[in-house]
Amino acid sequence: MSGIYVHIPFCKSKCYYCDFYSIVLTSRTKYLKDEFLSALLRELELQKNFFAHRQIDTIYFGGGTPSLFSAREINEILEKIFSLFPVRTDAEITLEVNPDDFSVEFARALKRITPVNRLSIGVQSFVDKDLQVLGRRHDAHQADSAVITAQDIGFQNISIDFIYGIPGSVDPFYSMELNLSKFYSLHLPHLSAYTLTIEPETVFGKWQRMGKLKPIDDDTFARLYETITKSLIGHDYLHYEISNYAKQGFLSGHNFSYWTGEPYLGVGPAAHSFGGDYRYWNIANIEIYLKEISQNKTHQHKEKLSERDKFNEYIMTHLRTYQGIDTEYLKQNFSTYYQNISQQIEQFEQQGFLYRNKQGNFALTMRGKLIADSLIAELFV
Ligand code: SF4
């Protein structure tokens, strides 16, 4: 599996919790959109040998807000990708869309003009109060309409995002109950559900420092996580990654390849790439990005991964998924590092944090998922 990630770095406004790289489109910054599109096409040309002829299985438009581009512009980017890389005919092509941009006209044009075959809709919640607190531009009705429009136009592979544990909103368990019941009624095949994390450089981070916002405590988060996970498993969703749930056949191929160490190319400012021995990333500044691309310079940052980095990366990514860590693979490829942690793995199994799955790999139990970050940190060498 190999994938291409396209970062569209524009938003209509900044949500209060968001620390993804994007700039707000205003009359002053509007000109950057056209310049960015030309630079992106140029960057793709400059990166045409990144994969050394590997087939491309997935393409993902994320952001920012990719739905601020027209269907024709999205198709122009895709045509450039198809002309430069060997993309599989049945590649998964995902577009992130925001409910307030997703009109019937846009959805129809997307279906008619582009080969986009998967949508990730940034719903976040079907509760108006949650959306107001998060600083989202859409309301619950628009979220609902966006999903129904996508389905009516013929998109079947649809994911939505939820954020839960929102301080200062309605009771988080009540919100979760409403959201899950709405989710089930829409018969969607995929859900990404994230606990709210307050990042320092966001409006929420500022409010927290000022004492205006009190985050929800860890115990409540743990109970919310258990509630959502048990409910979704009970409705036959596969809990295939810490925050992701899918019906059989609808796992996100693109994201799954990140978690299983496959190579990917990221284009656009702040986009990251991974090529086995190296990790690369573009600068998170559109003006510098445009200048660098105009001088044919790509990947402003580059880091060579040591064997230790690769081992830690394997533990961190694989343990997040239901496939877990393959100890035979670790023994063969990282025998010394593996010896350092083999006893710890056994101990985690005895403590009920890890179990052996059907493939014989060690994966997280429900208890383990609740403290995944600290378990992963314990297994780092
Ligand atoms: S959450 Fe999405 S829409 Fe909101 S500011 Fe961040 S990237 Fe933009």
The per-residue pLDDT for 174 is: 97
For the chain, give every domain's residue range: 3-258, 306-381
Which residue's alpha carbon is nearest to atom 4 within ligand 1?
15
**pLDDT tens digits, residue range 26-76?**
999 999 999 999 999 999 999 999 998 889 999 999 999 999 999 999 999
Residue 22 beta carbon below 6 angstroms from any ligand 1 atom: yes
The per-residue pLDDT for 331 is: 95
| pLDDT value at 256 more than 90 | no
Domain covering 306-381 in this structure, CATH number: 1.10.10
Is-contact 65 12, C-beta < 8 A? yes
Quick one: average pLDDT of 115-130? 98
Is-contact 355 349, C-beta < 8 A? yes
Give the rounded distance of the alpha carbon of 365 from its chain centre: 22
* 14 CA → ligand 1 middle, Å: 6
Which residue's alpha carbon is nearest to atom 2 within ligand 1?
64
The per-residue pLDDT for 23 is: 95
Strand partners, 160: 121, 191
Amino acid at the residue 300: Q
DSSP count for the chain of H helices, then E strands: 15, 16
When pLDDT is cut at 50, 70 and 90, the band that residue 125 belongs to is very high
Give the position, in ligand 1's atom list, of the atom nearest the Cα of 63: 7
The per-residue pLDDT for 330 is: 95
Q: For residues 86-117, b (16+ Cβ closer than 10 Å) or e, as one string?
A: ebeeebbbbbbbbbbbbeeebbebbbeebbbb
| pLDDT value at 261 more than 90 | no
What 8-state DSSP symbol labels residue 321? Answer: B
Give the rounded distance of the alpha carbon of 248 from its chain centre: 19
Q: Which of 6, 7, 10, 11 to mutate to test the pocket of ligand 1 (most atoms within 8 A of CB)?
A: 11
The per-residue pLDDT for 316 is: 95
Give the position, in ligand 1's atom list, of the atom nearest the Cα of 64: 7
- Total number of residues shown for the chain: 381
Determine whether domain 3-258 maps to CATH 3.20.20.70.
yes
Tell me the angle at which helices 140-153 and 104-113 cross, rounded to the nearest 10 degrees: 30
Quick one: average pLDDT of 86-94? 97
* 121 CA → ligand 1 middle, Å: 12
Is-contact 77 42, C-beta < 8 A? no
> Long-range contacts for 354-359 (Cβ within 8 Å, ≥24 apart)?
354/324, 357/322, 357/323, 357/324, 359/323, 359/324, 359/326
The per-residue pLDDT for 195 is: 94
When pLDDT is cut at 50, 70 and 90, the band that residue 260 belongs to is confident
**pLDDT tens digits, residue range 358-367?**
999 999 999 9
Mean pLDDT over all residues of the chain? 96
Quick one: average pLDDT of 150-154? 98
